[in-house]
Amino acid sequence: MANEFDLGGKQSWPTMFFFRRWKDHPAEAPAILEYLAELRKGAKANIASGVAPVAKSMGGLFESDFDLFKKDHPGLRKLVAWIEQTVKHAVCVANGNRAKPDEVRVEIPDAWYHVSNVGGFHDAHYHNDCSWCGIFYLQAGDSHPSDNTGAGNGISRFYSPLGTGAVLGDYGNSYLSNNRLDITPIDGLLVLFPAFLLHSGLPYKGERDRVVIAFNSRSYLVQA
């Protein structure tokens, strides 16, 4: 047992991310992509949702309505079931495994998809009225990470929730200097993140479209 006069430390208010790849992606993605392309043909505007158009590029980006997970498509239904299972496990871990996944009910009130190219982007934003949000990279296209030449192509960028403005730049605060996290799209990768995080989708250009599915979730303990 440590001496009561020794230095101790504890992290509080952590920001958690969860990552998981869908093993059925190679088999199911082609049909889902084809289905999304058909849905897009019926859209009346590039930002079909009509949500926050000033935060999105005027060209190079298509955003669907927010009812994607209500659609009846076999591959999409498999993906939704896998996402719901993943969210159940993630929220249990985030809450110290005080409940089991089968004791959690997940609701996904909003789900949509983005198709981007020729510089399409989504500026920094939050998601409202949910607890955990997800981005599923259905087709990463030619996305690549940031390096010393500049920001990555089509990456997802998350910003620190800690206020670091006017903070003294000494060694004691050096742990605050990494104030963003870049995630490079990978085919079949799901990223879960808390809704309070400011994030953006950086501009994308490539031979193939970058196609992502996004959603908002809420979780509740099942009443016995």
pLDDT in tens, the chain (224 residues): 568 899 988 888 889 999 999 999 999 999 999 999 999 999 999 999 999 899 999 899 999 999 999 999 999 999 999 999 999 999 999 999 999 999 999 999 999 999 999 999 999 999 999 999 999 999 999 999 999 989 999 999 999 998 766 678 889 888 888 889 999 999 999 999 999 999 999 999 999 999 999 999 999 999 75
The predicted model scores a pTM of 0.94
Instruction: Name every residue whose Cβ is closer than 8 Å to that of residue 126 and which is 6 or more positions away in sequence.
Output: 195, 196, 197, 198, 199
Q: Which two tokens stand for residue 70?
A: 């209500």
Domains and CATH numbers, the chain: 18-156+183-221 (2.60.120.620)
Strands (E), the chain: 18-21, 61-63, 104-116, 120-125, 132-139, 156-159, 180-183, 189-194, 199-204, 210-221
Residue 78 backbone dihedrals phi, psi, to 5 degrees = -65, -40
